Structures are given as structure tokens and as C-alpha cells.
Amino acid sequence: MKILLTGVDGQLGHELRNALAPLGTLVGINRQACDLADADAVRAAVRGAQPDVVVNAAAYTAVDGAEKQPENAFRINGIAPGILGEEARRLGALVVHYSTDYVFDGALDRPYTETDAVAPLNVYGRSKLAGEEALQASGARHLILRTSWVVGVHGGNFARTILRLAAEREALNVVADQRGVPTTAPLIAATTALLLRRHGAMPPSFPCGLYHLAAGGVSNWHEYACHVVRAAIVAGKPLRLRPEAIRPIASGDYPLPARRPLNSCLDTTKLRRTFGIELPEWKTALAPVLHQILETT
């Protein structure tokens, strides 16, 4: 199996590189090798690699930045997946693409399923939804994996931000009314590798399509921040901030350029039942990642 992996240097790409390498020949490309905002570069990358599988881990992920750079966000998140799909279809290749919980508006009081109506509240969510639709319309065999609140050892993320602020401040306000699930990059990468092994064993009958992939349980940004700080204290980090000094606030008290859904929990029943996959609770999955982050912070 020959795999073309975009975004190889990113938070998710780094974990995918390690998880997918044992499956065959891995060709990893970063932004310097292929800028997904450049349609010609995207086509050239696929035609040059001639892969059996394209794994697209590259994305424009700055949620607030997308409000100021919508055209760039749509080129990378919305248009490029369709181009990857068109090129993959010509080769008979499979495309694995990652999307987001932010395609939903958060109005439901339960986790979202794959068949629930989409209604993104911000440019980032709309651009990622456009990418899903473009890939689906390309005619390529595909796996679209929607995930949430991604956190990994490499790159920037919420956990690293909280640790930095905890070393600088004695008090902190964190939004508590946005529900979701922290999902680790290693969990996403390991699940992707499992799915590709299944695909390699049964390509004609493999159930392609759209799936939700997230850790188990539910959290909110305030609970998540407190959990990170407690773990850092247990690890002996000299923090100025204590969990009790992290104040829960409403989204309206901390306005940002991009609106966020109040509920972006994802129902993973379809993925678990289709492939017989067990997904750990978010705190369990986060523990080894947080341990590695703390060792390098």
C-alpha cells in the first residue's frame, strides 16, 4: 500500500506518520512541498506520488483567523479536498479526510449523529463542510472522519495554552457552557491505521462514507482546563494557577470573532458498530499525551 499523507508536520500529521508507516510506503508532504491553497500543487502532488490511499491531515485550523481570511480557509479546507478526490478517483485510490464538530450549530441537547442537519456558525465550520461536500461530489472512495477538540504532543493546542497561562497567572476565566470532547491525535491516528488495515483486507466491500470519531464522555472548556492544571500539579510543575482559581464563565462573557456551538459532542455509534472499535474515555486517552506534553513544557 502506498500512502500519500498531507500535513505531515502538523499535530495530527506527526502521529499519522508514525501510525501509517508500518502499512506500506508512506510519502509525507508538508506545506512547503504542497500548499493546499494552490490547486495545481495539489494535483501535482497526487500525480507525482501515484498513491493507493490519500490521507489528508492538512487544514486551515485557526477558527478565529478564518473569519479574517475566509478565502484562504475555503481554498484549503473547502476546495482542496475535492481536488484530492478528483485525482484519487482517476487512480482508484481511497481518500481519508478529517472534518470537524463545528459543522453543527450546537442547538441539540444530545450528541450529533452523522445524519443530523449541519449548520455551521462560523467560517471555519463552513469551509470544513464545503470540503466534505467537495470530496463526496468528486466520486472518489472516501472516509470522512469528523472529530473534535484535537490535542496532540506536537503543535499548539488548548492544553498547551492552559499550561502556559497557568505558569503566568494566578487566576483565569474559561468558558464553561460549550460542551464537547477532547480527542487525542494518537487516538485518531491509531483508528485511521486500523481502518486502512481493514480496507486493505476487504477493499471491494469496505464501508466507505462519513463517520464520527471522538473519545468517549463529555467535557467543557472549563473542566478541561481544570483537568490539565491538576495533572500538571501532580507532575510537580511550578504553576502560579490553581484549579480553584479557574473561574467558569459564559461564552457571552468572552466574545471571540468566531461563534462556537454550545454543544459539539459527536455520537460515535456508527463507527464503533461498523468496525467493532472501542473508543476510550477522553481522560484515559488524554493521560499519556498530557504526560508527554508536561515532559516537554
- Report the catalytic residues: 124
Please provide residue 112's backbone torsions phi and psi, each rounded to the nearest 5 degrees: -80, 140
**Inter-residue contact 159 to 151 (CB < 8 Å):** yes
- Residue 218 is placed in which grid cell? 463529555
Question: CA–CA distance from 289 to each of 61, 131, 146 (Å)?
Answer: 20, 29, 20
**Inter-residue contact 147 to 266 (CB < 8 Å):** yes
